[in-house]
A and B are shown apart, each in its own frame.
Chain A
Amino acid sequence: GAVVSQHPSRVICKSGTSVKIECRSLDFQATTMFWYRQFPKQSLMLMATSNEGSKATYEQGVEKDKFLINHASLTLSTLTVTSAHPEDSSFYICSASAGTGNRKDGYTFGSGTRLTVV
């Protein structure tokens, strides 16, 4: 089945530094990937939609200059948290759709990245 690999699974960084999170579709091409954020004991909130070869679409309230998204190939999307601060600490999860991107497939999720900013 479709597999989405997310790396790293856990990262601790100092306040003010930037962190890059990778999301790869291992056995399929994904023209669209999604980035979610999950606070402890809470649901997933969509941050942005990553489109291969074009600019990402950000949800209302998400700072595009802080959360940089690059989708340079059909199998890789990256999320860079710039100038991270403790309030950016969270669980970040990406998802992608297998095959032709038909939303009926249900999206495959990565295993998530736990970011801790100290």
Chain B
Amino acid sequence: AQSVTQPDIHITVSEGASLELRCNYSYGATPYLFWYVQSPGQGLQLLLKYFSGDTLVQGIKGFEAEFKRSQSSFNLRKPSVHWSDAAEYFCAVGAPSNTGKLIFGQGTTLQVKP
């Protein structure tokens, strides 16, 4: 069965510091991979996505993610965090063979210290 694991429930970083949010997935083949961000009480905004090709994906707001097949990982990174990046981040997988539904990880809450 497909699953997504985000090992870090809560991460705190200082403003200006680099960030890496971890995501591991379980799937028999290469799934479609997504990172979403959610501000409190809001819907989800797509940061970036991966389907095939270049394993380093650039997204919005200065985020990037790297797909590593050998590690079944799709970690999200940002070189310098801004206070406005404080939010909940979700990794999600979608199987190419199904109707397009997404399976989400548990989420990682990012807190940014001034």
Contact = CB atoms under 8 A, between A and B. Distances in A.
Interface residues of A, number: 26
Report whether over half of chain A's contact residues are helix, strand or loop; otherwise say mixed.
strand
Interface in B66-98: 90, 94, 96
B42 A46 contact: no
Nearest to A107: B102
B32 to A, nearest CB: 6
Nearest to A34: B101
Contact of B43 (A6, A32, A101, A104): A6
Interface in B11-40: 32, 34, 36
Interface stretch (A12-20, A64-72, A75-83, A109-117): A109-117
A25 interface: no
A89 interface: no
A106 B45 CA distance: 10
Interface in B42-82: 42-46, 49, 51
A20 to B, nearest CB: 18
A44 B100 contact: no
